[in-house]
């Protein structure tokens, strides 16, 4: 028993030394990242790859980052030139202390105007106007929001209003908001608005002045000429939306693009640092810098590029060699020091390739599994493949033989004619020579 105990202790000591060796990579990945905020995530926009996360699935108040969903549903259900009328409820249901755009009851605004004041100064009254215009009521619009959230894979989210006004049943997570931000930035109108830093609401039917001037709430977008530590301008920022309530604290869904690569950062529940600085902006800057300094994208296959050539059975001789075409770009997000030549894909052909096959038919897939992420594309037939027909092939061969035979006969006949012409030519020449000789004899 004593020997067994000693052996067990020795085994545990060895494990204690070995285990850290196996976890060194994961620790090294995050050791240089420091975040002040309790809930955050760093995601690459095109691939959805998560580089860093911290309690990213916790269900917490999202504050005005909610308005990203309101904007997307508006863009997908309205034309920018449509108009909406401001109701009494849209204005007076906004609690005291929440941001508003000083809208007037009965005022008629375009959807484009409402989107600008929704996303730039974060006007809560504008969110209500849009919700009522699209769905008839805030409650019905919330149902639309939750349906869309599920479509996007937002499993930790429940919306009860279009603006993020505090409600215990209104929540989301850093991961879900990253999905939402990634989706929203694919809309060019949304992308343009959330990168805008200033906006003036023009005079309307109920408001005859143009003095409603607004600035963005996103300080990452705004250059600050002051030489101070609380200058949070980040030159690569492309959007998106901030939020704040007492319960939610400081929140942001931010995006940044450099060298063709865009990242999404979500920060929730942020406080001031011990030095009185903004934890949400410092976290955004640190996470963006980490991503740009350590990662890059590698294009393994371009859209419509030929992967390889395969043989198709029962096909005609001229179509049996088929190009497999990669339908979509396959771009991997990897550490900058990655040796991409060691990364090989899995190629799955759906079934035995037998003619006939139409061009652009899905033949199979190509997939890369790297660092827990999957990158895939369909493989398409690069051309039509015609089915071989035995009788047709026989007729083709017979036709070729007949053509060759006819060519042979024509050549033979031509050769005989040439031979006859040569003999005739020789006889004529001999006769002429004989006559010349005879004439010469007589003359002599």
Q: Can you tell me whether residue 346 is helix, strand or coil?
A: strand
CA distance 304 to 326: 5
Q: How far apart are CA 125 and CA 94, in angstroms?
A: 6
Q: Residue 217 carries which DSSP code? A: S
Give percent of the chain above pLDDT 70. 84
Which residue blocks in 195-347 are alpha helix, DSSP H? 279-294
Question: Which phi and psi (to 5°) does residue 308 adopt?
Answer: -165, 175
Q: Mean of the pLDDT values across residues 173-178?
A: 98
Q: Please, what is the average pLDDT of the chain?
A: 88
Domain ranges of the chain: 34-295, 302-381
* pLDDT tens figures, 318-375: 999 999 999 999 999 999 999 999 999 999 997 789 999 999 999 999 999 988 889 9
| Tens digits of residue pLDDT in 362-417 | 999 999 998 888 999 999 999 999 998 764 566 667 778 888 888 888 888 877 77
188 vs 406 pLDDT, higher one: 188
Whole-model pTM: value is: 0.78
Q: Are 348 and 365 in contact (CB under 8 A)?
A: yes
pLDDT of residue 10: 42
Average pLDDT over residues 247-255: 98
pLDDT higher for 412 or 151? 151
Mean pLDDT of 424-433: 59
Same CATH topology for 34-295 and 302-381: the answer is: no
Residue 204: per-residue pLDDT: 97
Domain over 34-295 is classified CATH 3.40.710.10: yes
The CATH code of the domain at 302-381 is 2.60.410.10
Rg (CA), the chain: 38
The confidence band for 431, taking pLDDT boundaries of 50, 70 and 90, is low
Q: Which residues pair with 298 in a beta bridge?
A: 332
* 211-244 pLDDT, tens digit each: 999 999 999 999 976 666 678 999 999 999 999 9
- Dist CA 318 CA 329 (whole Å): 29
With cut-offs at 50, 70 and 90, classify the pLDDT of residue 3.
very low
Look at 202 and 427; give whichever has higher pLDDT: 202
Q: Is 101 helix (H, G, I), strand (E, B) or coil?
A: coil
How far apart (Å, rounded) are the C-alpha atoms in residues 438 and 158?
126
Residue 418 tokens, joined: 């040439």
Q: How far is CA 439 from CA 425, 436, 444, in A?
A: 21, 5, 9
Share of the chain above pLDDT 90, in %: 74
């Amino acid at each position: 028993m004593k020997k067994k105990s000693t052996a067990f202790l020795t085994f545990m000591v060895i494990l204690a030394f070995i285990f850290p060796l196996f976890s060194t990579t994961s620790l090294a990945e995050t050791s240089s990242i420091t975040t002040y905020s309790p809930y955050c995530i760093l995601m690459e926009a095109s691939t959805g790859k998560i580089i860093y996360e911290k309690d990213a699935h916790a269900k917490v108040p999202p504050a005005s980052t909610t308005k990203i969903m309101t904007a997307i549903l508006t863009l997908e259900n309205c034309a920018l030139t449509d108009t909406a009328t401001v109701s009494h409820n849209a204005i007076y249901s906004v609690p005291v202390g929440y941001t508003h755009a000083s809208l007037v009851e009965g005022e008629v605004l375009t959807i484009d105007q409402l989107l600008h004041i929704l996303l730039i100064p974060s006007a809560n009254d504008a969110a209500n106007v849009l919700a009522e215009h699209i769905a008839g009521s805030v409650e019905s619009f919330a149902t639309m929001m939750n349906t869309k959230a599920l479509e996007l894979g937002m499993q930790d989210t429940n919306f009860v209003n279009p603006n993020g006004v505090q409600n215990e049943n209104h929540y989301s997570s850093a991961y879900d908001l990253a999905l939402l931000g990634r989706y929203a930035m694919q809309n060019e109108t949304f992308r343009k608005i959330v990168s805008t830093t200033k906006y003036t609401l023009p005079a309307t039917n109920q408001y005859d002045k143009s003095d409603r001037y607004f600035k963005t709430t996103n300080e990452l977008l705004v250059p600050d000429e002051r030489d101070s530590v609380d200058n949070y301008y980040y030159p690569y920022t492309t959007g998106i939306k901030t939020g704040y309530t007492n319960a939610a604290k400081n929140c942001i869904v931010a995006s940044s693009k450099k060298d063709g690569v865009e990242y999404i950062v979500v920060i929730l529940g942020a406080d001031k640092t011990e030095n009185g600085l903004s934890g949400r902006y410092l976290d955004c800057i640190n996470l963006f810098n980490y991503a740009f300094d350590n990662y890059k994208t590698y294009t393994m296959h371009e859209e419509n590029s030929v992967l390889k050539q395969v043989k198709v059975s029962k096909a005609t001789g001229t179509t049996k060699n088929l190009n497999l075409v990669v339908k979509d770009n396959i771009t991997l997000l990897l550490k900058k020091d990655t040796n991409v030549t060691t990364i090989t894909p899995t190629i799955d052909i759906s079934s035995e390739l037998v003619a006939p096959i139409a061009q652009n038919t899905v033949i199979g897939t190509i997939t890369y599994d790297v660092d827990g992420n999957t990158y895939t594309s369909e493989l398409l037939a690069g051309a039509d493949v015609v089915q071989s027909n035995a009788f047709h092939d026989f007729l083709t061969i017979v036709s070729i033989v007949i053509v060759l035979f006819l060519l042979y006969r024509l050549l033979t006949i031509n050769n005989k004619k040439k031979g006859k012409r040569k003999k005739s030519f020789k006889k004529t020449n001999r006769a002429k020579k004989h006559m010349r000789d005879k004439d010469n004899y007589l003359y002599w």
